[in-house]
Structure 1
Amino acid sequence: MKKLVLLILGFVLGALAMYFYCCNDKNDDPVKEIPVPKGIIKPTEIKTLTEAYNPRYQAINDSVFAGVEGGDNRSSWYALEDLKNFLALAEQQASEMGYTMDGIRIYPGAHPQLKERPGYSTFLLVPTGYENKSEGNMLSMQKGKSNDLQGGNGLNHGGEGDPPGANYPQ
């Protein structure tokens, strides 16, 4: 009987310990800091870089978009949900193709010209990564060269600026 009481007491104490360990008030937990990605720049730097692009943009407009109201696109806008879904799908597709996705490469592109409408510039997001190769060494963590994932889907059809030639900030 004494062993049974000790067993029940052990279960009760174990349940209480688990309750306080697992179900502790989450408000007491420190806020998890989001790591700052490499390459973060301030708005003043964004403005400087987009203004440095002005001569190139003007050269494109003067040669290809002469007489077109608003000029060529200077930016592309993508919905946050579309970007999240694209990244998830690209990682899944990379895995299915035998690759590890490690980034995104952004290419400038242009839509084809349609009758009287010029082919506006766009930006294409393409997944990059490296092939999964087993070399039989558990200590080797070296990644291969990050290349575009051949056969992987990209993302396009972002919204254009308003007007298309609007510079930062919009």
Structure 2
Amino acid sequence: MKKLAYIILGFIIGAVLTYYFCPRDLGEETLHTKIIKPKGLVSPGQAKKLNDNWTKFREAAVDSAAKKQGRNKDNRSTWWSIEDIENYIKFAKNQTDSLKYNLTGIRVYSGVYGDNAGRTKKNLSTMFLIPTVKKGKAEASMNPFNMMLQKGDDCEECDGLNDGTGGNNSYPN
């Protein structure tokens, strides 16, 4: 009988140790997250064509302007890490909530670093992200379809995301 008690105690200790030391998914989100195909996806062939069209119709003008600023070529892409993008989306949601806005999306803008941007970025093109919002949480909550019908305005009070890595390579890089 004493041996049986030790065996049962061993099973209990093993179960407790297994519970605390075995890896497991702690995120509720990942258990119930449904992957939804976003609107506006383009195939790799379509992306190549878009890039080729940019090269055909814009590259000469953009690089000509860059040459006037003392550069041979201008940036034609901007890269951010997945972590930076995910963190920015969380940050934008938090910031717009605190301003009593409904975050409706993210808009991408083209910009140009100025003369004071340092040697590596001086007068080069860049991209930056700005949250778009609908003002007034109370109004939007009355109509659940409000968010789907209207894209939203730029949040002029919100911080944007810049400082990605620029490049002058064409697609695919």
How high is the TM-score relative to the length of structure 1?
Answer: 0.70
Deviations 1:51-83, CA, capped at 9 Å, x for gaps:
1111212211123325634x1001000011010
How far apart, in 2, do the equivalents of 1:109 and 1:42 lie? 27
Instruction: Map 1:46-57; keep pairs closer than 5 Å.
Output: 46-54=47-55, 55-57=57-59
**Over the residues paired in the alignment, what is the CA RMSD in angstroms?**
2.8
Instruction: Map 1:65-76; keep pairs closer than 5 Å.
Output: 65=67, 68-69=71-72, 71-76=73-78
How far apart, in 2, do the equivalents of 1:131 and 1:91 lie? 13
Shift of 1:32: 6.3
SS at 2:83's partner residue? helix
SS at 1:134's partner residue? helix
Between the two proteins, what is the percent identity of the paired residues? 31
Q: Which residue of 2 is the match for residue 158 of structure 1?
A: 164
Deviations 1:134-170, CA, capped at 9 Å, x for gaps:
35x95x3342740011210000010012xxx210011
How far apart, in 2, do the equivalents of 1:102 and 1:53 lie? 28
How far apart, in 1, do the equivalents of 2:97 and 2:137 lie? 12
Classify 1:167/1:98 alpha carbon distance in 2 versus 1 (closer, same or farther; 3 Å).
same
Q: Which residue of 2 is the match for residue 130 of structure 1?
A: 134
How many correspondences in the alignment? Answer: 137
Shift of 1:48: 0.5
Gaps of 5+ in 2: 1-24, 26-30
In structure 2, which of residues 136, 141, 144 is the aligned counterpart of residue 141 of structure 1?
144
How far apart, in 2, do the equivalents of 1:89 and 1:65 lie? 37
In structure 1, which of residues 94, 103, 121 is the aligned counterpart of residue 105 of structure 2?
103
Of 59-68 and 144-153, more deviation after overlay is shown by: 59-68
How far apart, in 2, do the equivalents of 1:32 and 1:82 lie? 21
Gaps of 5+ in 1: 1-25
Contact in 1 for aligned 2:102/2:137 (Cα 8 Å): no
